[in-house]
Structure 1
Amino acid sequence: MNYDPQQLIAPNTMLFIRKSDDINWEELNNIKPLLIVCDEKEKLQNQALSQITAIYVRNLLQAFFVFCTYYRNLFDLPVVAITGTCGKTTTKEMLKHILSNEMNVQTSVSSKNEPRQTLTYLLGIDDDTKAAVFELGLGNTGNISYQCQIYQPTIGVITNIGVHHLDGCKNLDGYIKAKSEILNGIRAGGTLIINSDDENTKKLPLSTYQNKVFTFGIKNKADIYATAVQFAEKGMKFQVHINNKKFQAYIPGYGEHQVYNVLAVLAVIHELGLSVQKAILKLRTFEQMERHLQFSKGVGGSTIIDDTWTNNPTSLEAALKVLDSVGNGKKRYLVLGDIKRLGKFEKKYHMELGSLVATYPIHTLITVGTKAENIAKQAIADGTSAKVYMYKDIKGVYELLEQQLDRESLLLIKGPMSSRAMIQFAKQLKSSE
């Protein structure tokens, strides 16, 4: 672990200390046994380390990677690494739901998938662990390569590639290239699982990829695919086809994207040599994640669809499809916040979303934030039939909706990712049943 004065350090710890770390040596000297790895010889020589074993290294980062490689190689187990613009967390949680029933599985927590959290998750593997499932976060080029160096996955999954984090990857091509880093990160003899229907995934440099590729899809040819996809009571019904076998499936939670998540999960299950049929049965009891197109009763007897977990063009398009599928005979309301991390392409993609919104029969469109204004303005320019309101922030939106929402109203909320104001706004609407 890296030194953190706020974190409790237990005996039998290997501690990597940087030159910039302000160390409480007296406290460390009382922890035994303890191994310190440091790249500043003077820092070690000037301290009384009677109870501490210390190793001086010339390059701390290199030593860190050597240790990580050593630790990872102590365990011969399947490690699944999941990336994609949307569906990472849901796919990971579905896998956890299935695997935990049969084995001890180590996973990343919620959607906490930043590279700096990678080591903590890796070190959670021990002799009792039979499998591991981790998300790969992507904010900048190189993030996935870094995480793969630590995890050394045997199975890599790309759920889809949309538009996101263009500020850290410069443009869409850079973003696709950053996602493709997983190809070189999968261990020799491993498997890459990809979406055969996703257009940007088709741009991956698979011609130079040496390992196995396993595909999932609905529209195009795939190794595992779904047919007869339809909305059912509180979820989706469909048929799963694999190895000339057909299974009836159901997953809680609305949307075609949810079916894609299931197919990705079942592809992993197949590659692990486990029963696809048992996994399908287990998924019937999967609990839909909070703020992932979560349906609730709200103010005036309305139905609130809380999709505030994340916000990007891909997830908004999926949410609009769900709204359209379940909204027959309803007044459809949209509250849309800014989409962040689009770099210099912010205006372009917000305007494109405005054009997309204009193709749907929306009763009322409300945008929140200066960036989201471009959604509203473009929807108006494209002839939307919706009543359109533009707000700088969330203040006043509740008061507007409180007067309009009734039992015939269906409201979809999508806001800036991790926006406390938007999350609280959704709670306020749901608590006013």
Structure 2
Amino acid sequence: MTTKSITLGQLLNIVGGTLVRGKRDLLLSSANYGKPKYLRTEHLYIFSTQKSQTHQLDAIRRVVPRAVIIPSSVSASSVPLSSAVIRVTEPYVAFWRLALWNWKQTAVTVIGITGSAGKSTTTEMVTAILSQTRSLVKTMGNLNTFTYLPSYLTRLTPKHEYLVLEMGMKSLNNIARQCSVVRPDIGVVTNVGEAHVGSLGSLDTIVRAKQELIDGMNPKGILWLNADDKRSRKLNTRNFLGKVHTFGINNTADIRAKDIDQRTNGITFTACFEGRNVPIFIPTIGIHNVYNALAAIGIARSLGNSIEQIRKGLASFQPPRMRMQLLKGTRDRWLINDAWNANPSAMVAGLKSFREWGKNRPHVAVLGDMLELGKLTRSAHQQIGRIVAHLPLTQLITVGKYARIISQSAIEKGMDPKKVFHYNSTASLLRHLKQLPANAVVYFKASRKMHFEKVIRALNTV
């Protein structure tokens, strides 16, 4: 995390607390909150009370950072004498104060990306386009809630022009809290689905959670919505004073895709916008990724990027791990790792997309539990079973206590029981998968806690 350079004395004024030792004119330019693994000598290390004290102190003694902020529970004598020390009541509060101070020193354009699926991929696509010509800070991995916001604010320096934030939520008010600090100038809702319905209680509540982005945006900002997503139509834009644009495939939209062709190395399609027909290639599979690309195109055009920059950025973007990730397996098999997480909408989209890839090959779907669905758990898994029953699959394999409902529902809806298998153990599942037909396409989808990546790793040749 990189901040604008400040002195130790300025830091003390910003975060409060007591200066235990160190010269006030000591210059600091990099902050590290609670990540001992990434600690460097030039860092200001801010102790985390949520992490192991022993591990943090071991790293501090080994690396000897320029300065350390500690809580009252940590003795200054345990920190090397050459490190400056500030003691505070709560380091996380100090971190937030530093982050807010640093935020006020910048003038970046904020891009807020939310949705039940596609946030990470859209974020990476936008980053691939913008970073060709501009410096930016973006969300890392799935660290996309209010808790992690100060990590991005402290990384901003005067050279940065964009802050690209994937805005996730575990509860109501999470996106609103993020927007209360950074009001997005450009926002996108990729879609509104069932993700986190278990913790939020209902689909209407999820709509309310995504509404928080719209309500929290810069009133003169630009908003992009999915014209094909029925739940996105429940979002209220009447009070939004900025510009509202749409993207889609089936319905009328400001940016539309046509002539979609899934190939071995990705997808080609024509993007229709501003009276132009622009050929686009994205190095990933899945029709839902076309929607993500359309959203990225909309954001990029809103920021003035050229068509050539858009085409080049999308063609070179690196798909996030475990999102329709195509991997080479043994015996000429292809493995599609789409198991970062799962909800019914995302699973349906993945199943339909994978069936379009490698049409002359055997197709096997390996589906695991979809978690965090609350009272919708049973009906959601039954829904997947009904859809799978009408797909021309070679085999359906389910894993987990809830996924069993998928296989039962598929059989009830007419799928040949001889094509349906269920396992509760990884060992049994692997034995089965290793006996699959040569050149099969195997699709993996489940919630993150099912750890399908371990199964895929055992089958991957790379």
Choose which of 191, 216, 226 in structure 2 pairs with 1:160.
191
- Call closer, same or farther: CA 1:356–1:164 in 2, change over 3 Å: same
TM-score after normalising by structure 2: 0.80
**1:84-99 pair list within 5 angstroms:** 84-99=115-130
Partner of 2:338: 307
Which of 286, 304, 317 matches 2:317? 286
Partner of 2:295: 264
Find the counterpart in structure 1 of residue 162 from structure 2: 131
Matched, 1:147 2:147: no
Listed as ranges, the gaps of 5+ residues in structure 1 are 40-53, 55-59
Which residue identity does 1:405 align to in structure 2?
P
- CA distance in 1 between counterparts of 2:167 and 2:81 reads 37
> Is 1:398 matched with 2:449?
no
Which secondary structure state, in structure 2, belongs to the residue aligned with residue 91 of structure 1? helix
Q: Is 1:24 equivalent to 2:55 in the alignment?
A: no
Distance 1:93 1:381, change over 3 A: same
Measured in 2, the distance between the counterparts of 1:34 and 1:269 equals 44
Deviates more, 1:152-161 or 1:67-76: 67-76
Q: Which amino acid aligns with 2:75?
A: N
Contact 1:122–1:150 (CA under 8 A) maintained in structure 2:
no
- Residue 332 of structure 1 is matched in structure 2 by 363
2:292 is aligned with 1:248: no
CA contact (8 A) 2:335 2:443 kept: yes
Q: In the alignment, what sits opposite 2:262?
A: 231
Q: What letter matches 2:368 in structure 1? A: G
CA contact (8 A) 2:184 2:218 kept: yes
Counterpart check, 1:297 vs 2:328: yes
Report the alpha carbon displacement of residue 84 of structure 1 after superposing the two structures with TM: 1.0
Partner Cα separation in structure 2 for residue 16 and residue 141 of structure 1: 32
Work out the CA distance in 1 between the residues paired with 2:253 and 2:259.
Answer: 16
Q: Quote the RMSD (CA, aligned, Å).
A: 2.7
- Tell me by how many angstroms 1:329 deviates: 2.7
TM-superposed CA distance for 1:67, in Å, is 6.5
SS of 1:208's equivalent in the other structure is coil
Task: Note the C-alpha offset of 1:376.
Answer: 0.7
Indicate which of 66, 81, 87 corresponds to 2:112: 81
Q: Which runs of 4+ in 1 moved over 3 A?
A: 7-13, 25-39, 63-71
Distance 2:151 2:284 in 1: 31
Contact 2:121 2:320 in 1 (8 A): yes
| Conserved 8 A contact 2:207-2:234 | yes
SS in 1 for 2:238: helix
- The reply to whether residue 193 of structure 1 matches residue 244 of structure 2 is no
Equivalent AA in structure 1 for residue 142 of structure 2: S
Deviations 1:25-48 (A, max 9, x none): 456896887766658xxxxxxxxx
1:300 aligns to what SS in structure 2?
helix
Partner of 1:428: 458
Q: Measure, in 1, the Cα distance between the counterparts of 2:319 and 2:393.
A: 26
Deviation at 1:257, TM superposition (A): 1.1
- 1:277 paired with 2:305, answer no
Distance 1:165 1:327 in 2: 32
Per mean C-alpha deviation after superposition, the further-off stretch among 30-39 and 90-99 is 30-39
CA deviation map 1:16-71 (0-9, x unaligned): 96xxx6243456896887766658xxxxxxxxxxxxxx9xxxxx97x987765554
Larger mean CA deviation between 29-38 and 154-163 belongs to: 29-38
CA distance in 2, matches of 1:180, 1:16: 38
What is the rounded CA distance, in whole Å, between the counterparts of 2:261 and 2:183 in structure 1? 38
- Say if 2:222 and 2:245, in contact at 8 Å, map to a contact too: yes
Structure 2 runs not aligned, ≥5 long: 1-32, 34-45
Which one-letter code corresponds to 1:73 in the other structure? Answer: K
Q: 1:131 to 1:366 in 2, by over 3 A?
A: same
The residue number in structure 1 matching 2:23 is: none
Q: Aligned residues, how many?
A: 406
Q: Give the distance between the partners of 2:70 and 2:273, measured in 1 at CA.
A: 47
State how far apart, in whole Å, the 1-side matches of 2:390 and 2:341 are.
23
Shift of the alpha carbon at 1:243?
1.8
Deviation at 1:246, TM superposition (A): 2.3
| Matching residue's letter, 1:255 | G
The Cα offsets for residues 181-231 of structure 1, whole Å up to 9 and x where unpaired, read as: 111221231122111111111111222222221211111122222222222
CA distance in 2, matches of 1:144, 1:401: 41
Distance 1:109 1:358 in 2: 38
Give the aligned partner of residue 420 of structure 2: 388
Identity of aligned residues (%): 29
Provide the rounded CA distance (Å) in 2 between the counterparts of 1:391 and 1:336: 10
